[in-house]
Amino acid sequence: MHKQKFTRILASFILCCPGVIFFNIAEGAESSFQKGICYASWEKERYASVYSDQSLEMLAQTGAEWVAIVATYYQDKYNSKEIFPNERTPSDKSLIHAINKAHQLGLKVMLKPHLDLVNQSEGLWRADIGFQKESDWQEWFRQYSKFILHYALLAQKTGAEIFCIGTELSFASSKTAFWREEIVPALREVYSGKLIYAANWDEYKTIRFWNDLDYAGIDAYFPLHQKGNPGYAEIKNSWTKWAEEIGTWQKTIKKPVIFTEIGYQSCDFAATKPWENSYSESVNLQIQSDCYRAALEVISNKLWCQGIYWWYWKATPYAGGINNRDFTPQKKPAEIILTLYYRGLSLAKLNQ
């Protein structure tokens, strides 16, 4: 969205909502809360393109202070032991370009490597990666170590402030000894920044190596409502219950929590199973913006939460729009909600 056009929309939104109040935050002040957005591409050189540069500039205009940049490796099936890049993996050169561009814009960076399955015909995904034999686990972790150390070295080289050691590996994360005795110590040897793991929403309580990391990460795709089009109050009520559960759990680990991913599509049933792609459903911009508002309203004052990264901003300035069902908030009401909050506005009285 063009900057001047966005400014007009934002001004109109504020004029129409007299209950919105400003936080007393000095211009340019940096909060300890990580106002983040995930940034992802599955094209080899996209991150080095003019389109990506323009998109990152637009991302920075939201008031975001952090960006989680994603790079994806692959393995054939859930029980394959070889981990490799393919034609959809961003090149190191393009990834370095994006990190440098983000830093030039004043954004801090989390480098967030992902591991996906090439063959998902059996309905399985990265959370299902696992083996029955200990020797197979050892070989897989040897491959995983090579993969994750490659990106840790790149994070160190580029000055990425946070490094994510894994994402939604629910079965593999149960092998605590490998993480505590091999993966984390090896990463600490080559990377001097902060470490985090991104647990799936139904996995975070089972992790046994949180004490070895700097943050506890949750990919927060919590189911919020069975209705296809619930109201804002219903969505907020569900988020309040999840926040209470997370807050109680956080006291047991005493680590700051960061929502390494949180996102909703702009279509009906986006709040039912937020992790699913529901492209057959009707476009619904309201439910996406309501989900953004509810999450921000509920967690913004939680002392245990130190950041949130929205899934996801695409590496093109032409993404999103009012007819788009995808997760991106670009050129949608959700972007306005996000910007209001990230620029220091309270959303607390929008309903009054």
Phi-psi region of 123 (alpha: psi -120 to 50; beta: other; left: phi over 0): left
For residues 74 and 117, the answer to whether their CB atoms sit within 8 Å is yes
Phi, psi dihedrals of residue 17, rounded to the nearest 5°: -125, 75
pLDDT at 351 over 90: no
CA distance 123 to 139: 24
Domain residue limits at 256: 3-9+30-342
- Based on the structure, what is the number of domains in the chain? 1
- 202 lies in a domain? yes
- Average pLDDT (322-334) is 96
In a domain, 24, yes or no: no
Compute the average pLDDT of residues 264-274.
95
- Would you say residue 18 lies in a domain? no
The predicted structure's pLDDT at residue 345: 74
**What's 197's domain CATH number?**
3.20.20.80
Quick check: is 335 in a domain? Answer: yes
The 10 Å CB-count burial string (b at 16+, else e) for 159-185 is: ebebbbbbbbbbebbebeebbeebbbe
Q: What is the pLDDT of residues 69-84, one digit of tens each?
A: 999 999 999 999 999 9
42 CB-side CA count, 13 A: 10
CB neighbours of 323 closer than 8 A, spacing ≥ 6? 283
248-268 per-position pLDDT tens digit: 999 999 999 999 999 999 999
**In b/e form, how buried is each residue of 308-317, taking b as 16+ CB within 10 angstroms?**
bbbbbbbbbb
Indicate whether 139 belongs to any domain: yes
Mean pLDDT, the chain, whole residue set:
90
118: helix, coil or strand? coil
In a domain, 69, yes or no: yes
- Once rounded to an integer, what is the mean pLDDT over residues 139-146? 98
Residue 348 within a domain:
no
In order, the DSSP letters of 274-316 are TTS--TTSPB-HHHHHHHHHHHHHHHTT-TTEEEEEEEEEESS
Look at residue 284 and tell me if it is in a domain.
yes
Does residue 144 have a cis bond before it (omega within 30 degrees)? no
- Answer yes or no: is pLDDT of 207 > 90: yes
pLDDT digits (tens, 9 = 90+) for 152-206: 999 999 999 999 999 999 999 999 999 999 999 999 999 999 999 999 999 999 9
